[in-house]
Structures are given as C-alpha cells and as structure tokens.
Chains A and B, each alone.
Chain A
Amino acid sequence: MKIELTVNARRRSVEVSPDDYLVDTLKKLGYKSVRRGCDTTSCGVCTVLVDGDPIPSCAFLSVRADQRAVTTVEGIPETASALAEEFGQTGADQCGFCNPGIALTVHAMQEKESDTDDETIRRHLVGHLCRCTGYQSQHEAIKAYLGDEK
C-alpha cells in the first residue's frame, strides 16, 4: 500500500505493508533519531508527534499516518538544541538514547499547556524511561529550558 504523509513539513510518499509500524517506516525514510526501545509501548523511546500529539511509533500502524503530519526530533531543531544545552548543564545527558522522545514530548507540552508547572512536566514525562539519569536532572533541565523560553 502506498501512503502519503508529511514528515517534518516535507511531503513523503512510501510503500508500506498493512502491518508495518511507523517506527520502521520512519527509519526506512532515513529519520535516524527514531529509535526502537522496549517495543511494547512502555518506554517512550520511539515517541514521535502525529498531528502534534505524542504517540508510541512502535504501536502506531504506518497506514494510519496516511495524510497526516509526523514530526521527529529532526523537525524541531530549535527545541532540541536548546534542551540539549540544558541537559548538558544539569548532567541529564548521558547515553542519550531517550533524548529524542523526551524532546518531542516537551515540545508538544509547550504547544498544549498554558501552565508548565512541576506537576504538568511530570505528567507529560510519565512513560519516558531513562536508565542513566534518575529523572531529577532531566526535570531540572526541562524547567530551565521552559524558564528561558518564557
């Protein structure tokens, strides 16, 4: 089946099988930031945005992305580099495997929430597992990033 989608504001057309998942289709299209983690929707590593909402791309069928807008971390360069700066400052950046998913979730949260207090940040980050940092340094980095953005 052929699907047409927009990835990071660029129109793409791609042949997929009915049971292909978006994580694999995006990798096939060359978006290297999209990673397979637990493959059971539990870790957040494969998160991408579909029409602005975070979804686990390991469980999202590629056919469902037809005529929709997908964003990977390559599509949010400003958020990603500003967050990376803060992650470096707080020591939140270690192996980096979970960073793209977190950056996309923070980006979506900023678009949707008028108040990004501690509780809101925590609520959005549930489901992003990180085996290096223990979460506090990431939380501080995100707060600093959001503070700078205001």
Chain B
Amino acid sequence: MKFKTYRRVESLDEAYQLLQEDRKNMVVAGGGWLKMSSRTLETAIDLSALGLDRIVAGEDTIEIGSMTPLSAIEADSGIAALASGILSQAAGAVMGLSFRNLATVGGSVVGKYGFSDVLTPLLAMGAELDFYGEGRISLEAFLKKKGRTADILKSVIVPRSLGPGYFKKVRKTRLDFAALNLAVVTTQRGYRIAVGSRPSAATLGEEAMEILNSADTIDEATIEKAARAVASLKYGDNPRASKAYREHVAYVYTKRAIEEVRDCED
C-alpha cells in the first residue's frame, strides 16, 4: 500500500470529513491487511490519538474501542468471562502474538473478511457496532450491507447476558486462515449459531437456530436436524478447503458445539 499524505486526526469529525472528501482517503488501523494491498491512497487517516483503544465493561455490555488490538481482546479478563471465552479464543487464533499487537478489531470488522475469525463469535454473540455517522447498527445488518463503508467505526459492543459458548477454527496449520470457523452461544433469546470462512463472510445459521429455539428439549434428534441445517448453508471451494469438506466439518462441529453448550447449561 502506498499513500501520499498521513493525517493523525484530532477528532472523529475530522476523520469522518476526510473519508467523505475523497474515495482514496482511508482509515489505516493496524494496517495489517492494507499492507497487502497494491493500491495507492491519497490520505491515510490515523485514529490513534482518539483513545479508541480501550475496553470498557459496563453493567450490560462490554464496549471494545475500534482501535483495540486483537492481543488486548485476547488478554482481557472481562471478555474471557463471556460465553466461555469464545471471543478471546478467536482473537488468539489469529497469526502470532506480534501480529495481534498490530491488527485491530475495527479493521477486522470493517474489512468484512470472509476468513475472519473474530467476526464469527461477534455475530453469534449479537454484537452491535457504533459508527460516528450512522450510529448503532447490529453486526448482522452491517454484514448484509454492500459497498464501501464511508464511516468511522468507534466501537464494537457485546452484550454481557450470554450463557455458555463454543468456538472452533478448523485450519491446517497454526498460522493458516480458517477452512471454516464456527461459534455457538446461548443468549436470553435462545441459541445463536454463526459460521464463517465458508469461504465467504460469517453468517447466522438461522434455520438451525429456529430448530433449536422452538424445540422443547435439545435431544439428539434436534441436534442432528440443526447440524444438517448448518451443513446446508452456502459453502464454496477455495485453496483452504473444498465445498464438500466445509459442509462436512460444519455438520460435525455444529453437533459437538450444541452438545457442549447444552451440557454446560444443565
């Protein structure tokens, strides 16, 4: 990535105005993924003077500043206590520690990367995003939006009222992208299941959630039906795994995840 000027902005408004002015102005957060790009930008917008790198635990939510590095998410005890620590596990599953000191949660969310390990648990947890211009929006709605995000993400907000959770990153080597990642969480409204690296971005397993949340008991037949529903989401081929492999591991790990979460709840 090349760029002509660098602005360490002093306010969110300054950053927002710069983004509106020119499509070639971009926020550079950790810069980890942007580094891989061959694009030439006009202005790199640096948010690091705005105090967006904090994790604040409130009564009902935990608010993670968009510039928070993945290593800080991994190390935070409040986040580790949520949903069996699935978000900490997912952050810790990205590359090595030095990379996680660089890459931020904001870059991981706004990039909407198909392979993202962080998006999957956030989606299952029912996270919300707080943008400077647009205000609050659910991650679920944000992921469905098409096109460029010309807004500044301030923070990612995770509810605290979560039950047990499960996260799995299926990969060939410790440093590899996921062939598939999966998160299951119990919330006050029932089970939530998210699957990512399909290879497209994380999505909710809505049919499976409906099966589980309308069942009287989570018995083996219900789990089997839910796992089949997750395996029938849209998957594809890429160099990490074939469509058929993804369908198979989605089925297997959904079964394991629901069993584990159900047994934790009992």
Contact with A along B1-33 (1 / 0, CB 8 A): 111111010000000000000000000101110
Which residues of chain B are within 8 angstroms of A125 by Cβ–Cβ distance? 96
Tell me, yes or no, whether B141 is within 8 Å of chain A by CB. no
A40 near B36: Cβ-Cβ < 8 Å:
yes
Chain B 80-122 interface residues, beta-carbon cutoff 8 Å to A: 95-99, 101-102
Which residues of chain B are within 8 angstroms of A129 by Cβ–Cβ distance? 175
- What's the interface size class on B, roughly? 20 to 34
B2 near A44: Cβ-Cβ < 8 Å:
no
Quick one: given A18-B44, A55-B102, A127-B175, are A60 and B31 in contact (CB under 8 Å)?
yes
Tell me, yes or no, whether A128 is within 8 Å of chain B by CB. yes
Closest to A50 in B: B101
Which residues of chain B are within 8 angstroms of A21 by Cβ–Cβ distance? 35
Task: Give the interface centre of B30, B36, B46 by most chain A CB atoms within 10 Å.
Answer: B30
Tell me, yes or no, whether A9 is within 8 Å of chain B by CB. no
- What's the interface size class on A, roughly? 20 to 34
Tell me, yes or no, whether B48 is within 8 Å of chain A by CB. yes
Which residues of chain A are within 8 angstroms of B97 by Cβ–Cβ distance? 54, 105, 123-124, 126-127
CA distance A54 to B48 in the complex (A): 18
Tell me, yes or no, whether B171 is within 8 Å of chain A by CB. no
Tell me, yes or no, whether A53 is within 8 Å of chain B by CB. yes
Which residues of chain B are within 8 angstroms of A59 by Cβ–Cβ distance? 30-32, 35, 102
Quick one: given A41-B102, A60-B102, are A128 and B36 in contact (CB under 8 Å)?
no
CA distance A127 to B103 in the complex (A): 14
CA distance A59 to B34 in the complex (A): 9
Tell me, yes or no, whether A19 is within 8 Å of chain B by CB. yes
Tell me, yes or no, whether A95 is within 8 Å of chain B by CB. no
| Nearest-Cβ distance from residue B21 to partner chain A, whole angstroms | 17
- List 17 A-B pairs, Cβ < 8 Å: A18-B3, A18-B4, A19-B6, A42-B175, A53-B71, A55-B98, A55-B101, A56-B102, A59-B35, A61-B28, A124-B97, A126-B95, A126-B97, A126-B174, A127-B96, A127-B99, A128-B96
